[in-house]
Structure 1
Amino acid sequence: MIALLHYPLQVTKAFRQSIAYLPSLLALGYFLVGLLAVVPHEGFISMPGWLDFVRFNDKDTLRTLLSTLIAGMISLVVFSFSMVMSVLSQAGGQFSHKLVFGLVTERHHQWVLGNYLGTILFILMLLMVPENGDSPGTWRSLAAYLGVAMVIHCLALFVYFIHKASQTVQVNSVVAGLHLATSRSLASLKHHQQSPRYMQVADTTPAAAPASCHRFEIRSRQTGFIQNANFAEIAEIAASIDGVIHLNFSPGDFTLADFPLLYVDAPDEPDRACADELLALLLYGEGESIEDIHVHGLTQLMEMAVKALSPGTNDPGTARLCINQLTDLLRRRLDFDPCNAMVDQHNRVRVTWPVESFESLIYRVFTPILHYGKDDVTIGLSLLKALKSLSLYAEGTERRLLQAYAERVIGALADAAHHRLDRDFISARLNGGEHRLDLPDQLGYRG
């Protein structure tokens, strides 16, 4: 049953995340209003006589007005989304290309598009359905005035759209949006894993199967990004076969067809139906979803910083802004350790999965920035400041990791500083600010 419902649920989620979701709903609402406007109303709705003054004298006047409105709306749509393509072209050259689709699918852009399309659909219905008699009735005349109000509303949305589109390509707005989305993803993960069924185990690498069990593998049947998995349902299936299921991937990983996704430790081999149900509980998606996986938000901020450091862009200010946001997100990540196992009602481990360690995150987001910004002293100092700030919230292994990485950054600064003034400037800032790292007072020089 789960396998049968998997495809419709995937299609529904893909539709809700697509650019067509809100425009489709809004267009449907306008269609229903247009249907109400063109159906015969005699015998159902009686119009008061004092509204006769709104009636048009002849059909040609009404059709001319509607034709003018729909022509203006089509021109407005063409102009608006020509501007969108210009904005996307600029964003693609300035930011990471992964952000371009996200800029298009923002909810306010979809809202404007839906109102545009719905207004055109409503006016088109008034034009296509003829009116009986020599002159339009009160009902049809009121519908025409409603069309005028819709067009005026779209003009107001056009002003709003220009404002939002201009903000979309501002660096501060893009970086703040990525930071907010990643913060929400981290908060959601932290809240979700407060359930007593989630726990941490020392190592998710499957050990040898117990003597009472055998190890079986279940291979994937499709290629793509696995955004998430229904751990609760997988745990129930593991309990039903009295076994433990080890996921051989982290959420967000790209896996190939015929890849060993799951290892099952159970007394008996799972049958085909059980394997189908387990595979159906894995949620595939296109691209990188920040809402599901916070690591993608960190990666996209890193890619923005690297793009800003490229010779074609040459914008170290944006890179420093991204480093500041990354520092805050990594500090939030230090507040908790993501769980990597789920237990059943009897506190027996039923599902395990690998999670990305803090060491891996630091290497993933800071190493590319250090590599591409190694010749810029301000970038090296920004990274060192970030590591010093993080050391205030780290303990044990994490602080030793930050210490080692700070030494690497200082080494890169020493390589980049060939002039005495540069070395003096850096040395004055090595131990500045609050931190809990063991840093030198003077910058060593590598001649």
Structure 2
Amino acid sequence: MIQKIKLGYFNNRNFIRIISYSLLSVVLLLITWLFDYHLPGLKTYLPDFLLLSTNVSTSFLSNLSGVFLTVTTFTLTTILTILNYYSSSFTPRIVQDFIDKPHVLSLFGVLIGGFFYTVLALFFLQNLSEDVMVISGTIAIFYAVTSMIAFVLFVRRVLRDIKYDNVIDNVFAQADRLIITEAEQRKSSERYDAEKFQSKLNIFGQSTGYLYHIDHKALLTTLKDIPCELVITKKIGEYIPRGVYIATLNFLNQNELSHEEEIELAKKISNALVFNTVKNESQDYHFEITNIIEIALKALSPGVNDPNTAIICINKLALLLGKLFSSQNHFILLASNDNAKVVYHSYSVEEEMYLTFNQILFYGKSDPAVARAILESIYLIYMISDKSAQAEVKKFFQYSYSLCLEALSSELDQDMLSRIKDDFDQNKDNVSDEKALRSAD
């Protein structure tokens, strides 16, 4: 139930965020009703400068309601323009990144709340005498000042996030945070010896969608009395049709469950894996890596032709993968007790390297600068990564070098690539500070 509530909030978080800020007007209307109508005697405890006449308040609220409506329309137009810019210049999947930034949809909610407050406050004022001093106009003044501050913060956010470098840095920072967490979890994870397993049970998905979340607490509760290891082979963010194999339950003892008990156990395990119609960017580092890849591909397209931006993205990808490969493990121990372990198996080094660079190689291998950047980045990954990953990284370097060398026709360009390969083969740069390279900036 809790996971369903969280999932509902995630899918509707933009609408909820607007509504939550709009509800501020309800609170202010309650304060107005309390002071101006229900308990007018409370106004004697307020300073005189906080009270305005009914005529002044009516005039101010009338003008302010029109201003709120105009600025709300302008803000919506600006947001839609920025989203269109993000979609055409970067990637459609990065649109959500701008929407989720502070001071974006919050401003929209503040302005909508301001419009409702001013209109409803005007409705209340029509029943009061002209010589009555009220607080509704004063509250509107403070609300207008707050709205202007929110608008300034919104403009600052737009001017900052419209730059290429800032957009790439924002995505990189989110991916870096997730990858550092992932690497630390990998380092401290341990599995059972595979030779101890007596039997196994395959688990198949009961839903269709992207693997959004693994409820490891529910899984551990389900498996608490069974000596076993549950290995989840599908990845967070991977699209999985119903009925596809998603996990293996390895028993440390001989499986003594009946067929009906196996079906019930498999169903409980499958239900603990939450599926959604969209990916979970708050947990899936691969989602952020994909965003950087797509920005690089957009920059390499003939219509944009901006190889320098692609090179920046390639360098960022190298830092991320190097930190990810800083552990010899490619799995995470999500939860464990005296009997059971819940293990999440992530991408191997070979899979990660291929998924990251295959499209960039396809579109950028014939550009000399991009080809050099790809090889230098793979060399950087090799330097940062753990020794257990270096063999696969070296293999992919040789693969990338062959593709790039074949795509370049100039002897000078080929010679520049050969120099990078010579450096890689001789490992001349063997004095790098791996700890500094792996840490957050």
In structure 1, what is the equivalent of residue 48 of structure 2? 51
1:246: how far off?
Answer: 3.8
Question: 1:318 is matched with which residue?
Answer: 309
Amino acid of the structure 2 residue aligned with 1:259: V
> What does the per-residue CA deviation read over 1:127-186, in whole Å, with 9 as the maximum and x for residues that have no partner?
222454422633x3x321221232233233223322211322311111111111111112
TM-score by length of 2: 0.84
Cα offset, 1:419, TM superposition: 2.8
**TM superposition shift of 1:124:** 2.3
Which amino acid counterpart does residue 363 of structure 1 have in structure 2?
Answer: Y
Given candidates 22, 25, 28, the residue that maps to 1:27 is: 22
Q: Of Structure 1 and Structure 2, which has the larger fraction of its residues in helix?
A: 2
In 2, Cα distance between the equivalents of 1:414 and 1:248?
36
Q: Deviations 1:416-440 (Å, cap 9, x if unpaired)?
A: 33234434444455545997289xx
Counterpart in the other structure of 1:443: none
Alignment-derived partner of residue 212 in structure 2: 227
- Is 1:333 matched up with 2:324? yes
Deviation at 1:411, TM superposition (A): 2.2
2:333–2:343: 8 Å Cα contact kept in structure 1?
yes
Q: Partner of 1:121 in structure 2?
A: 116
**Cα deviations across residues 51-86 of structure 1 (Å, max 9, x unaligned)?**
179432x54x43332121011111111112211111
Q: Aligned letter for 2:331?
A: C
**SS of alignment partner, residue 210 of structure 2:** strand
Which of 93, 98, 103 is matched with 1:103 structurally?
98
Give the number of equivalent residue pairs.
Answer: 420
C-alpha separation in 2, matches of 1:350 and 1:395: 25
Distance of 1:435 and 1:158 partners within structure 2: 56
Match of 2:350 in 1: 359
Question: Which of 87, 91, 100 in structure 1 is aligned with 2:86?
Answer: 91
For the Cα contact (< 8 Å) 1:389–1:435, is it kept in 2? no
2:276 to 285, 302, 309: 285
The amino acid of 1:8's aligned partner reads I
Counterpart amino acid of residue 388 in structure 1: Y
Contact kept in structure 2, 1:309 and 1:315, CA below 8 Å: yes
Change (3 A) 1:240 1:10: farther
Superposed CA RMSD in Å reads: 3.1
Larger mean Cα displacement after TM superposition, 249-258 or 319-328: 249-258
Does the residue aligned with 2:331 lie in a helix, a strand or coil? coil
Does 309-318 or 391-400 show the bigger shift? Answer: 391-400
Aligned to 1:267: 256
SS of corresponding position for 1:375:
coil
User: Is 2:164 aligned against 1:171?
Assistant: yes
Unaligned runs of 5+ in 2: 430-441
The one of 120, 145, 148 aligned to 2:141: 148
Task: Give runs of aligned pairs for residues 44-83 of structure 1, distance below 5 A.
Answer: 45-48=42-45, 51=48, 54-56=51-53, 58-59=54-55, 61-83=56-78
Q: What amino acid does structure 1 have at the position aligned with 2:403?
A: A
1:240 equivalenced with 2:225 (yes/no): yes
Amino acid at match of 1:339: F
Contact 1:388–1:436 (8 Å) recurs in 2:
no
Question: 1: CA distance between counterparts of 2:312 and 2:228?
Answer: 48
Hey, what's the Cα distance between the residues in 2 that align with 1:254 and 1:423?
Answer: 40
Q: Give the deviation of 1:87 after TM superposition.
A: 1.3
SS, match of residue 289 in structure 1: coil
Q: Does 1:300 align with 2:288?
A: no
Provide, for residues 274-297 of structure 1, a one-character-per-residue CA deviation record: whole Å limited to 9, x for no partner. 555433422223433332021222
SS of 1:252's partner is: coil
- Would you say 1:36 and 2:36 are equivalent positions? no
SS of residue paired to 1:368:
helix
- Amino acid in the other structure paired with 2:171: L
Cα 1:192–1:132, aligned 2, differ >3 Å: closer, same or farther?
farther
| Distance in 1 of aligned mates of 2:335 and 2:52 | 71
| Alpha-carbon distance in 1 for matches of 2:256, 2:66 | 71
Q: Secondary structure at the match of 2:345?
A: coil
Q: Deviations over 1:83-110 (max 9, x none)?
A: 1111111111111111112222223212
2:238 aligned partner, one-letter code: D
- Does the Cα contact within 8 Å between 1:181 and 1:290 map onto a contact in 2? no
Match of 2:435 in 1: none
SS of equivalent residue, structure 1 residue 283: strand
Contact 1:119 1:150 in 2 (8 A): yes
When residues 174 and 66 of structure 1 are mapped into structure 2, their CA distance, relative to the original with a 3 A threshold, is: same
Is the partner of 1:126 in helix, strand or coil?
helix
Say if 1:201 and 1:341, in contact at 8 Å, map to a contact too. Answer: no
Q: Partners of 2:357 and 2:280 in 1: how far apart?
A: 21
For 1:399 and 1:392, the matched residues in 2 are separated by 8
Helix, strand or coil for the counterpart of 1:98? helix
CA gap of 1:435–1:156, structure 2 versus 1, over 3 A, is: farther
Give the counterpart of 1:188 among 156, 181, 190. Answer: 181
Q: 1:328 to 1:231 in 2, by over 3 A?
A: same
Once the two structures are superposed, residues 365-418 of structure 1 have per-residue CA deviations (whole angstroms, 9 ceiling, x without a partner) of 112111110110101100111122222233545222222222233323322332
Counterpart check, 1:392 vs 2:387: no
Question: What fraction of aligned residue pairs are identical, expressed as a percent?
Answer: 16
Amino acid across the alignment from 1:104: I
The alignment's TM-score, normalised by the length of structure 1, stands at 0.83
The whole-number CA distance in structure 2 between the counterparts of 1:332 and 1:415 is 30
Is structure 2 residue 7 aligned with structure 1 residue 10? yes
